[in-house]
Amino acid sequence: MNQLDMMLQKADEQQADLISIAKTLISFPTPAPPARNTKSAQKWVAGFLKEMGCSVDIWDVYPEDPNVVGVLKGTDSEHYQSLILNGHIDVAEVNGEDWDFDPFQPLIKDGMLIGRGASDMKGGLACVLFCLKLIHEAGLQLPGDLIVQSVIGEEVGEAGTLECCKRGYHADFAVVADTSSLHIQGQGGVITGWIEIKSAKTFHDGMRRNMIHAGGGTFGASAIEKMAKIISALGELERHWSVMKSYPGFAPGTNTINPAVIEGGRHAAFVADECRLWITVHFYPNETHEQVVAEIEDYVNRISDSDVWLRENRPVFKWGGSSMIEDRGEIFPALEIDPDHPAVSVLAASHRDVKEEEPVTDVSQTVTDGGWLYDAGIPSVIYGPGDLKNAHSVNEEVSVEELIDYTKIMLRFIITWCSRKKDCPA
């Protein structure tokens, strides 16, 4: 039995250690919102990484919300492939939900690990840490660098992963261990935006008759009513996209423009002199948020050109943001898989060896931090345990068997990829 096979056997024999790591992570209440609550969990992760021989970098992205990066330096980093394993420590909020158990007191029932974050994505992060433990205990020294990122803010668009990229962390390939049902996935992108209409003049509501009836002689309009025109225009553009754009693996019309929130007016004694529309835009992996933003602005501006009042009171656009909490905005770039990338082939082979079946390669129905890694020029995939049905759900759960399978697959992948020379042909 070779060393890898022995380590895979250890993954089965020491599965209690895996469950213990997962339970520990889940027991830290890190929901976002409200966020600003991950410091204790991240200090625990940092301590674990140090014990496994990693050099550790920990820094605050927001107060009480630090990122943690552990680097297991390879013996010949210059000539061998490097790898980032990425996961987020924050979980979906728990707000008055009727759980059968305390969401942060995890337990095993009927072969399922139950607790907030079990599926999204503390289960996957636990597997990554368990892989490190098995490598450390075996005394194995990888030729290439292994970088483990435990980041904050994914649930509220705070992009802890982007901060890792800005800090200079880079690798030849990255795996985001987020919820994918062990499918190798890319993703579309998301950007939120605000469209604001503000009247140059303010009118008493008693002046409405003068604005809308013949002979009133007053050039004015309700910003709320004009926003309705823009909402209708966005629906027209959305339908055009659904006809003219497509991407393999996505159902037609997945590229949507959702009018999510509308705010406007002062009170009943005024004609509404301002209105703001918050939209969420989903786009395909072969598009950028800059492209879709330009299309939306162009279309809305053309509609405004055709309206007498909007020509003089132009819509103003504000796109994206670094936090849904701090500035009510977010961006998740798209991630497009290169099926011919050698790391994708190695990952697929690792899946095949452990599961004895072909892996599914498709696209996620949601978004992850993987887009930030891809946007930084790092070939990336989403590949993790758990399914979207359980992500954010009441009594969130993940199969223990799937966690063990994922650990074995990733262990095989890490060792194979980080032992591959950089100039090795695909």
- Contact (Cβ atoms closer than 8 angstroms) between residue 150 and residue 121: no
Question: Residues 65, 154, 273, 274: which is the catalytic one?
Answer: 154
Produce one character per residue of 311-320: b if its CB has 16 or more CB atoms within 10 Å, e if not.
Answer: eebebeeebb
Question: Known catalytic residue: 90?
Answer: yes
How would you write 230-264 as a 3-class SS string?
A: HHHHHHHHHHHHHHHCCCCCCCCCCCCEEEEEEEE
**Tokens describing residue 24:** 């520990």
Q: How many helices (H) and strands (E) does the chain have?
A: 12, 16
Residue type at position 99: W
How far, in Å, CA of 271 to CA of 243, rounded? 38
How far, in Å, CA of 109 to CA of 64, rounded? 33
Question: Residues 65, 90, 145, 155: which is the catalytic one?
Answer: 90
Question: Known catalytic residue: 163?
Answer: no
User: Where does residue 89 rank: exposed (0-12), middle (13-18), buried (19+ CB within 10 A)?
Assistant: buried
Residue type at position 168: G
In the numeric block, the tokens 């994922």 are attached to 406
**Tokens describing residue 58:** 């920990």
Which of the residues are catalytic? 90, 154
